Structure 1
């Protein structure tokens, strides 16, 4: 079982690596096109400013009371020409996208085909005379491909004694030698399981250590972009700027009832959830008093005091309560050192079971880490309480 687990773990790592490579190619193509569009946008902005300045001069000339001054200004304006802006054609590399998509689809189909073939093969069962104590030639399994590696031993027919025949038909495990063998076998199984657990724990610790040493540019390689989920927002949480900013509303917003909506705490979740992979996002805090940033399961309560971030077993967060900063999980508080940073980075590693909170300034500084074997998909989660408190999901252009 341990060998199988290791094999499948390697398969998963290979698939994750293939996914990361494909995603990187698409992101690079997206970045290339976005950069071109940004350049075009800047050119158009500059042209717009020129036309706006010319428009203002025309309107100013129309206000002149002196006819000669108006005509003089009009002649000057006639000499000003506005050339059309050349906008180059910008297109995605459809061949690249098609190639990446087709490669992923082919890999999926190949895996399905192989798994289906493996399931269709019925294992050959040994046949016998029906007596479990007798093992004649008919019960000998057919040689497999492993038999080619080892020479077949010649079997000499032996005449079983009455004692051995009875022992074969009715096996007992009362003899000291057999008890010793069973005990040794059990100890070996426990030892293997313990070794596997130690190896898995060592791997997780190594991965965690690696991420703690990463710089901000390295963390941004795992950056994700998401919007806030309108259906989860409490009636006192106002969403703005294309659902990327959460703030405290002056009066209740009378949102439509929804089973996912928070009705007790002024909280909101991200629209997307993450069950596997590594994901990073940053949040800008404006007036960082009485607000919180964290992650939670979709099954987190929506009503009552236990629905507050960190006050249940389904959420983990870092919270600003006036001037105090704390980490919360399962209603247990851990007070943290204060920081002047107004930006928080969250690194969620679903595969190796940890979530890290960083204070982001010129460099990133670890605020707190939670090590958890996550059992559900996780959502970005936010709490805003005091007037003026505002959280913004950062973009990474």
Structure 2
């Protein structure tokens, strides 16, 4: 009965299915090719902006180099005339040449400040991050939607639900405790070198040292308008944001302790009383007000024991849902820890009270 092993001929239904599926695959490939082309075009435009800025700065350097070279020739010529006058044996001719040289005027060469437009660099980089986040959101939305639908399906509740919840709480506590026991060297494997976002800085928050140092200016700094800029509180956010993973950074306090260090969602208000760090549900912080230390979240203050520290370590565990603030020293001392289910990407955030308050971001090495 060998004929039973022969493959059956493709019927009309199978052929129609294959044709339809093949057409759909071609359409999908075409759509993805267009998506890739759009992303590549955006990449080329972004790289061109940076390249053009680099070219502008290089051209400026070339121009200044030409001016300085011309000035060098002028000074060399004047030097030659002076040396020639000094070799003159005739006193009358010497005096004539000296008088002529005294009338020769030389002006200092004007050398303007040459630097790349940091606002352009930051905004260009931010646009790439925004595009990446939008793509990630689109790619993962279907998966998350499916997960939500699975959650909505009726399930039988096991009688051990309370036990599971308790076990999860114990597991979370053990995770936090494990990080509290780590040395600074161990924490540095999660080091994130933070810089400050110029577009969020209040008009009197002065940024320096390549956007790693912040202080309060006595006069407004006339920053350009930006929708992300704080208008009421002397605050600024970090340029980097974190949605996943474990991240650690250190902040050094200088001169006085009227300041706040924390994290917040990018959606936190930028004006009004709710824009103050810790005074809303979108931010968590530790605040130093003279000798008083407090934790703040959702406008709820908790007074903390006084810990003398000039350097603060911040450990953020996105999946674990907690952020730890600790005093950096030979032995890390816990200042406070927040436990929360973070719903958005988180930014390092800083509040300064008045002039004299200075915070610096430590560029730590892994």
TM tier relative to shorter chain: 0.5 to 0.7
Residues 315 and 187 (structure 1), Cα distance of their counterparts in 2 relative to 1, 3 Å cut: closer
Please tell me whether residue 206 in structure 1 is matched to residue 154 in structure 2.
no
Please tell me whether residue 217 in structure 1 is matched to residue 182 in structure 2.
no
- Gaps in structure 2 of 5+ consecutive residues: 1-138, 147-153
Distance in 1 of aligned mates of 2:322 and 2:355: 32
- Higher Rg: 1
Which residue does the alignment assign to 2:268?
300
Say if 1:289 and 1:322, in contact at 8 Å, map to a contact too. Answer: yes
- Give 1:389's match in structure 2, choosing from 348, 357, 363: 357
Distance in 2 of aligned mates of 1:257 and 1:340: 38
Q: Shift in Å at residue 339 of structure 1?
A: 2.2
Distance in 2 of aligned mates of 1:374 and 1:333: 20
Say if 1:288 and 1:320, in contact at 8 Å, map to a contact too. Answer: no
Which residue does the alignment assign to 1:228?
196
Distance in 2 of aligned mates of 1:188 and 1:273: 39
- Give 2:305's match in structure 1, choosing from 331, 334, 337: 337
Task: Please give the root-mean-square deviation of Cα atoms over the aligned residues, in Å.
Answer: 2.3
Distance in 2 of aligned mates of 1:297 and 1:187: 34
Structure with the bigger RCO (C-alpha within 8 Å, sep 6+) is 2
Q: Shift in Å at residue 331 of structure 1?
A: 0.8
Q: What is the SS of the residue equivalent to 2:225?
A: coil
- State the number of aligned residues: 216
Please tell me whether residue 317 in structure 1 is matched to residue 269 in structure 2.
no
Distance in 2 of aligned mates of 1:233 and 1:195: 47
Q: Tell which deviates more after alignment, 365-374 or 215-224.
A: 215-224
Distance in 1 of aligned mates of 2:302 and 2:277: 14
Say if 1:294 and 1:316, in contact at 8 Å, map to a contact too. Answer: yes
Q: What is the SS of the residue equivalent to 2:192?
A: coil
Say if 1:289 and 1:386, in contact at 8 Å, map to a contact too. Answer: no
Distance in 2 of aligned mates of 1:197 and 1:378: 26
Distance in 2 of aligned mates of 1:262 and 1:384: 12
Q: Shift in Å at residue 255 of structure 1?
A: 0.7
Distance in 2 of aligned mates of 1:339 and 1:383: 19
Residues 239 and 187 (structure 1), Cα distance of their counterparts in 2 relative to 1, 3 Å cut: closer
Q: Shift in Å at residue 199 of structure 1?
A: 3.7
Q: What is the SS of the residue equivalent to 1:191?
A: coil
Which residue does the alignment assign to 1:256?
224
Distance in 2 of aligned mates of 1:191 and 1:297: 37
Distance in 2 of aligned mates of 1:192 and 1:236: 56
Q: Shift in Å at residue 193 of structure 1?
A: 4.6
Which residue does the alignment assign to 1:282?
250
Give TM-score, length-normalised by structure 2: 0.56
Q: Shift in Å at residue 187 of structure 1?
A: 10
Q: Shift in Å at residue 200 of structure 1?
A: 2.9
Distance in 2 of aligned mates of 1:347 and 1:395: 15
Q: After the TM superposition, which residues 1-397 of structure 1 pair with which residues of structure 2 at under 5 Å, given as runs?
A: 189-191=157-159, 193-397=161-365
Q: Shift in Å at residue 196 of structure 1?
A: 4.2
Distance in 2 of aligned mates of 1:286 and 1:319: 14
Say if 2:192 and 2:364, in contact at 8 Å, map to a contact too. Answer: no
Distance in 2 of aligned mates of 1:217 and 1:232: 32
Q: What is the SS of the residue equivalent to 1:207?
A: helix
Distance in 2 of aligned mates of 1:202 and 1:361: 28
Q: Tell which deviates more after alignment, 382-391 or 263-272.
A: 382-391
Distance in 2 of aligned mates of 1:360 and 1:288: 17
Q: Shift in Å at residue 205 of structure 1?
A: 1.7
Q: Shift in Å at residue 289 of structure 1?
A: 2.5
Distance in 2 of aligned mates of 1:288 and 1:275: 32
- Gaps in structure 1 of 5+ consecutive residues: 1-111, 120-185
